[in-house]
Amino acid sequence: MNNVHQTSTVQSNKAEATLTNLLGAKPTLAIAALAIVKSDNLDRKIMLANATAKAWYARQLDLSTLSRPLDMPDRPGRPDNPELRPPREMPRRSSHGPRGRYALLHALAHIELNAVDMTWDLVARFAHETMPRAFFDDWVQVGLEEAKHFNLLSKRLNELDGAYGDLPAHDGLWQAAHATGHDLLARLAIVPLILEARGLDVTPSMIEKLKKAEDQASADIIEIIYRDEKRHVAFGMKWFRFMCQRANLPLEATFHKLVREHFRGPLKPPFNEAARSEAGLSPSFYKPLTAFGAVA
Ligand SMILES: [Fe+2]
Ligand SMILES: [Fe+2]
C-alpha cells in the first residue's frame, strides 16, 4: 500500500488527468466509484478503479459528503459473457485435471469481479455516511486490490488459452451483498466478515491443489489474493467495531443479529481459525452461527 500512498506529485497529476479523461469531468470519490460499478466494459472498469485509487491517495478527489444516498444501480455493469445462472443451475464439473483447474480459476475470476463491484458499490453507496476519511482510504485500497486480483486471474485465463466469460458463472454473491444495500453495518457484517472470511477458509486447500498439479503460476496468484484478503477481513472487523462502539451496540450480539437477518443458512465449518484470528475475527463471532452454534 505504501507505493500508493507515496505517489509522487507528477504521478498524482497524471492520475487525476487520467480519471478526468475517463470520466469527462473532475468527479468526487462517490461519482468515480459509481462509474466503476456501472461500467460494462471490464478493461474500463479496471482502468477506472486504478485511476480512482491513484487520484484518491494523491488527495485530488473530494469526498464531498453527500446529504443523501446516491442512486445506485441494482446490478453492476457487466459484459454479455459470462452467462449468469442461478447457483443451482450451474453445471457440475470435476475439479480434477487441466479443465477442472481452468474452471476453478474462472470461478475465482468471477468472485473477484464481484468483489470489485461490491467494494466500489460500498464506497459510492455509503459516501453520505458520516465516517472518517480513513474508512474510505481502507475501502479504496480494497477496491484497488480486488481489481488487481481480477486482472491477475483474467491474464492467467488468457495464458491458458481462454478468457473470462467463456464459462457460465453464478450470481449468488452479488445478491448476498445487494441485500444489505440499505445498511452499512449489515454490509460490513455480510461482505468482509462472512463472505470474504469464508474465502480464507477455502483458499489454502486450493493453493495446495494447484501446487500438487504443478501449476505454480496459478498458485502464486492465489497466494497474493489470500494475503490481501486477510487484510480485507481485518478492515471489515475494524470498521464494524468502530461503528458498534460509536453507536454503543454490543459487538458480537449485533453481528449475530445482522447475519441471521441477512444471510441464509448456517456457516459451514471447517474454519481457518488461524487466518480468521489474524484478521481479528475470533471464534465467538462465527461459531454461534454454525448449525450447532446454539449448543456449542
Ligand atoms: Fe479479492
Ligand atoms: Fe477481498
Residue tagged 462502539 (cell numbers)? 245
If pLDDT is split at 50, 70 and 90, which confidence band does 285 have?
A: very high
Q: What is the pTM of this model?
A: 0.91
Return the half-sphere exposure (C-beta side, CA atoms, 13 A cut-off) of residue 169: 23
What distance in angstroms lies between residue 234's CA and the mean position of ligand 1's atoms? 13
**Running DSSP on this structure, what letter comes out for residue 193?**
I
What distance in angstroms lies between residue 200's CA and the mean position of ligand 2's atoms? 10
If pLDDT is split at 50, 70 and 90, which confidence band does 63 have?
A: confident
Which ligand is nearest the CA of 139, by number? 2
What distance in angstroms lies between residue 231's CA and the mean position of ligand 1's atoms? 10
What distance in angstroms lies between residue 197's CA and the mean position of ligand 2's atoms? 9
Q: What is the pLDDT of residues 207-254, one digit of tens each?
A: 999 999 999 999 999 999 999 999 999 999 999 999 999 999 999 999
How many Å apart are CA 116 and CA 33, to the nearest integer?
10
Q: What is the pLDDT of residues 159-214, one digit of tens each?
A: 999 999 999 998 888 888 888 988 999 999 999 999 999 999 999 999 999 999 99
Q: Do 87 and 170 contact (CB within 8 A), yes or no?
A: yes
Which ligand is nearest the CA of 232, by number? 2
267: left (phi over 0), alpha (psi -120 to 50) or beta: beta
Rounded to 10 degrees, the C-alpha dihedral 127/111/20/14 comes to 110
What distance in angstroms lies between residue 136's CA and the mean position of ligand 2's atoms? 15
Which ligand is nearest the CA of 197, by number? 2
What distance in angstroms lies between residue 233's CA and the mean position of ligand 2's atoms? 7
